Amino acid sequence: MEINLDNYRNKKAVIFSGRERGRLVRDQIGGNNLDEADEITFVIPDDVYAIASSFILGLLGQTIRSLKNAGKNPEDVIRIPEGFESTFREAFRQATQTECLL
């Protein structure tokens, strides 16, 4: 399954953020399709330089948790786009946290 972020932005907008917006994109794609996909790839326009982890958590949080629960490594299914490795890995870590330190 391919997610082309160019379809989900205004012209010239170069930042993707917000859990709520991530969820809206997820709803438009179909959350179940994402959870059942064998492979998820991204097409990211060249000028986009920031994807906040909140957006990734809204878009893929549920999918990451489903993969983790099924004993799979999210990175084997969700192909991390080049240049966004740290953001995606951080979102993978955040999505699977179960304990609060307090």
- Judged by the rule CB under 8 A, the positions of this chain that interact with other proteins are 7-10, 13-21, 24-25, 27-28, 49-54, 57, 61-62, 65, 83, 87, 93-102
Q: Which lies closer to other proteins via its Cβ, residue 13 or residue 43?
A: 13
Q: Which lies closer to other proteins via its Cβ, residue 72 or residue 93?
A: 93
Shortest CB 36 distance to other proteins, Å = 18
Q: Which lies closer to other proteins via its Cβ, residue 37 or residue 62?
A: 62
User: Pick from 28, 11, 26: which is nearest to 65 by CA?
Assistant: 26
Shortest CB 3 distance to other proteins, Å = 12
Cβ(63)–Cβ(96) under 8 Å? no
CA distance 64 to 81: 16
Residues 6+ apart with CB under 8 A from 29: 1, 3
